[in-house]
Amino acid sequence: MEKSSTVLIRLAGISDAAAIVDIYGPIVRDTMISFEEVVPSEAEIAARIKDTLLFAPWLVCEIDGAIVGYCYARRFKERAAYRWAVELSTYLADGYR
């Protein structure tokens, strides 16, 4: 008999930064899909979450209480004509991709 999992999608908080670094770190270090060359610190991710939530959602996915993925919107360009345009990023933990 398979165990049923509880899946929750919710707004991220700065307290989620460590789990997000755990997901994003290997992607930065071991793949070419991120345009970053250095893994951001927990403090940097916390600041990004705080800044993003001022204008757009940053969501995390929990399965059985563990964060296994996240996605966020980011401003596409700063000019007024682009104020509603965003680009999206989504990352999943190894084993959930």
Q: pLDDT tens digits, the chain, 97 residues: what are they?
A: 467 889 999 999 999 999 999 999 999 999 999 999 999 999 999 999 999 999 999 999 999 999 999 999 998 998 999 988 999 999 999 999 8
Domain ranges of the chain: 7-92
What whole-number distance in Å separates Cα of residue 16 and Cα of residue 5?
20
What whole-number distance in Å separates Cα of residue 65 and Cα of residue 52?
23
Instruction: Provide CATH code, domain 7-92.
Output: 3.40.630.30
Residue 76 CB neighbour total at 10 angstroms: 12
